[in-house]
């Protein structure tokens, strides 16, 4: 039995400061969490609007369970597609400004499904080097040719597109980069798609609900729309629930229903989750004040951390990574904050490139100005 080998691999990771371990929360998701029995002020969830524990979502989930039960019982194409799923898909399509939408169990599965359904052997996928792991895995699974371009490097992407002859072309990108917080140049990407007759898959996991008027996401934020864009967003981050959706032209959605393996061969999510997301969509749409508060907190953090030993990476979004560099140093900083009652996760390779370990600070509309002050104070203390 190769257990010994596995043990050695884990020990090697630990020696490099790369071992990953889970901590157990005893509380709901919120800026104030209880971990292993101790209270902490948390800056590492993706619950950007503070909806994950919102009483209206809790009530909607309970009401959904009372109406539809718990399990969906089957895949969508068998007997698992409920009226709650259907209503939610229509609402998501309208919210995203697209003709149709399709629910997936998770964002990871949505990305796998879309790329695998739309391209294959003989086609080419163009991908930003800093894309989320699920987009990278999706490319591999699709068996299309893979061309990765330097982060947001439109000149390199244009050259790669120029050289590519055959097949379908699909550009895939995070809209808000998950570990960096910066935005993809979506208008330029769309212009390249038009010039080269390519599709654009936009993964808006961190923009949906947070950016744009009424929280409609990164496309609204940039003021672009096109039939070429396949829009994907997750429902477990700002929306505060679970799952993901893809919004696109009807023919694309019909293709996914027929060919996306991560859609076809899996059990539908509990319909009650769809009831909760429907309620969340209302709160997101009415959440301009939350988003404004969030923008103020971002500005407060950025100005409060000026001149600190470690620098915040360039980002205007709720993701504010503090670049540390060394793995052990990032862990030590995270530990130093923890001793001061503050929870911020250290992000290390291979999630981020070698030598760019960082604290991924995320802000939420549920934070207060004094929460952010506390973080700023603790980081200045630790920098001494
Ligand atoms: C979180 C995330 C995903 C995966 O979504 P899940 O619903 O958590 O599976 C996909 N893409 C990006 C950019 C993400 O940040």
3 state DSSP class of 58: helix
Choosing from 42, 105, 178, 315, the catalytic residue is 178
| CB neighbour list of residue 60: distance below 8 Å, 6 or more residues apart | 275, 276, 278, 279, 280
Kind and range of the H or E run holding 75: none
3 state DSSP class of 359: strand
Q: What is the overall mean pLDDT for the chain?
A: 97
What is the pLDDT averaged over residues 337-357?
95
| pLDDT for the residue 169 | 98
Total number of residues shown for the chain: 384
Read off the pLDDT of residues 91-138 as tens digits, 9 standing for 90 and up: 999 999 999 999 999 999 999 999 999 999 999 999 999 999 999 999
Specify the DSSP class assigned to residue 279: H
- Nearest-CA residue for ligand 1 atom 5 is 107
Q: Ligand 1 centroid vs 44 CA: distance in angstroms?
A: 15
Whole-model pTM? 0.97
Q: Ligand 1 centroid vs 237 CA: distance in angstroms?
A: 8
Choosing from 54, 237, 293, 367, the catalytic residue is 237
- Nearest-CA residue for ligand 1 atom 10 is 107
Measure the CA–CA gap between 5 and 28, rounded to whole angstroms: 38
Nearest to 220 by CA among 172, 288, 171: 288
Measure the CA–CA gap between 348 and 326, rounded to whole angstroms: 9
Cβ–ligand 1 distance for 236 under 6 Å, the answer yes
Cβ–ligand 1 distance for 205 under 6 Å, the answer yes
- Asked whether the predicted pLDDT for residue 26 surpasses 80, the reply is yes
Q: Where are the beta strands (DSSP E) in the chain?
A: 32-35, 38-42, 100-104, 124-128, 145-149, 169-174, 199-203, 229-234, 244-248, 311-312, 319-325, 342-343, 346-347, 357-362
Instruction: Give the domains, in start order, of the chain with CATH numbers.
Output: 19-49+287-383 (3.90.1150.10), 74-285 (3.40.640.10)
| CB neighbour list of residue 74: distance below 8 Å, 6 or more residues apart | 80, 267, 268
Measure the CA–CA gap between 19 and 165, rounded to whole angstroms: 43
Q: Which atom of ligand 1 is nearest to the CA of 206?
A: 15
Cβ–ligand 1 distance for 132 under 6 Å, the answer yes
Q: Which atom of ligand 1 is nearest to the CA of 108?
A: 9
244-248 and 100-104: which strand pairing?
A: antiparallel
- Asked whether the predicted pLDDT for residue 166 surpasses 90, the reply is no
Residue 275 among the catalytic residues = no
| pLDDT for the residue 21 | 85
What is the pLDDT averaged over residues 362-377?
98
Residue 169 among the catalytic residues = no
- The first and second tokens of residue 54, run together, are 């919102």
Cβ–ligand 1 distance for 103 under 6 Å, the answer no
Q: Ligand 1 centroid vs 381 CA: distance in angstroms?
A: 33
- Asked whether the predicted pLDDT for residue 25 surpasses 90, the reply is yes
**What is the pLDDT confidence band of residue 165, given thresholds at 50, 70 and 90?**
confident
Distances from the Cα of 83 to the Cα of 64, 79, 88, 214, 274, angstroms: 11, 11, 8, 25, 9
Residue 178 among the catalytic residues = yes
Cα 309 from chain centre: 28
| pLDDT for the residue 1 | 73
Distances from the Cα of 98 to the Cα of 160, 227, 250, 298, 379, angstroms: 29, 8, 9, 30, 44
**What is the pLDDT confidence band of residue 20, given thresholds at 50, 70 and 90?**
confident
Measure the CA–CA gap between 286 and 268, rounded to whole angstroms: 29
Integer-rounded Cα radius of gyration of the chain: 21
| pLDDT for the residue 272 | 98
Choosing from 76, 85, 206, 293, the catalytic residue is 206
- Nearest-CA residue for ligand 1 atom 1 is 205
Nearest to 30 by CA among 17, 22, 40: 40
**Cβ pair 132, 178 in contact under 8 A:** yes
Read off the pLDDT of residues 213-260 as tens digits, 9 standing for 90 and up: 999 999 999 999 999 999 999 999 999 999 999 999 999 999 999 999
Read off the pLDDT of residues 331-343 as tens digits, 9 standing for 90 and up: 999 999 999 999 9
169-174 and 124-128: which strand pairing?
A: parallel
Which of 29, 104, 107, when mutated, tests ligand 1's pocket best, judged by the most ligand atoms within 8 Å of its CB?
A: 107
Which of 103, 105, 128, 203, when mutated, tests ligand 1's pocket best, judged by the most ligand atoms within 8 Å of its CB?
A: 203
**What is the pLDDT confidence band of residue 359, given thresholds at 50, 70 and 90?**
very high
CB-based burial label for 161 (10 Å; 0-12, 13-18, 19+): buried
Read off the pLDDT of residues 263-317 as tens digits, 9 standing for 90 and up: 999 999 999 999 999 999 999 999 999 999 999 999 999 999 999 999 999 999 9
| pLDDT for the residue 79 | 97
Residue 300: beta bridge partners? none
Kind and range of the H or E run holding 166: none
Determine how many CB atoms are found less than 10 A away from the CB of residue 234.
26
| pLDDT for the residue 131 | 97
Buried b / exposed e along 101-139 (16+ C-beta atoms within 10 A): bbbbbbbbbbbbbbbbbbbeeebbbbbbebbbebbbebb
Measure the CA–CA gap between 98 and 101, rounded to whole angstroms: 7
| pLDDT for the residue 16 | 86
Percentage of the chain modeled with pLDDT above 70: 100
| pLDDT for the residue 275 | 98
Cβ–ligand 1 distance for 113 under 6 Å, the answer no
């Amino acid at each position: 039995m190769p257990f010994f080998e596995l043990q050695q691999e884990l020990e090697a990771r630990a020696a490099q400061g790369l071992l990953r371990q889970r901590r157990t929360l005893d509380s709901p998701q919120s800026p104030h969490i209880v971990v292993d029995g101790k209270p902490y002020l948390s800056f590492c969830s993706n619950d950007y609007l503070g909806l994950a524990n919102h009483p209206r979502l809790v009530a909607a989930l309970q009401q959904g369970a009372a109406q539809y039960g718990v399990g969906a019982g089957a895949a969508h194409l068998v007997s698992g597609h409920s009226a709650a799923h259907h209503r939610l898909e229509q609402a998501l399509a309208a919210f995203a400004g697209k003709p149709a939408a399709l629910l997936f169990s998770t964002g990871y599965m949505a990305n796998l499904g879309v790329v695998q359904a739309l391209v294959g052997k003989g086609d080419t996928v163009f991908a930003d080097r800093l894309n989320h792991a699920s987009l990278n895995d999706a490319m591999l699974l699709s068996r299309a040719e893979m061309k990765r371009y330097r982060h947001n490097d439109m000149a390199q992407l244009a050259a790669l597109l120029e050289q590519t002859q055959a097949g379908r072309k699909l550009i895939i990108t995070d809209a808000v980069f998950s570990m960096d917080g910066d935005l993809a140049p979506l208008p330029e990407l769309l212009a390249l798609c038009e010039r080269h007759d390519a599709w654009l898959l936009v993964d808006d996991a961190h923009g949906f609900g947070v950016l744009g008027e009424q929280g409609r996401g990164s496309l609204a934020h940039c003021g672009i729309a096109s039939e070429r864009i396949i829009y994907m967003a997750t429902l477990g981050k700002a929306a505060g629930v679970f799952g993901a959706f893809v919004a696109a032209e009807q023919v694309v959605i019909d293709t996914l229903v027929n060919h996306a393996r991560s859609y076809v061969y899996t059990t539908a999510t509990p319909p009650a989750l769809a009831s909760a997301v429907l309620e969340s969509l209302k709160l997101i749409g009415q959440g301009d004040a939350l988003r404004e508060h969030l923008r103020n907190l971002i500005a407060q953090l950025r100005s409060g951390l000026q001149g600190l030993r470690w620098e915040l990476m360039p980002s205007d979004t709720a993701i504010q990574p503090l670049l540390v560099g060394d793995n052990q140093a990032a862990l030590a900083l995270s530990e130093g904050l923890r001793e001061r009652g503050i929870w911020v996760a250290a992000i290390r390779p291979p999630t981020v490139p070698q030598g760019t370990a960082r604290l991924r600070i995320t802000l939420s509309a549920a934070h207060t100005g004094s929460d952010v002050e506390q973080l700023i104070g603790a980081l200045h203390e630790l920098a001494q």
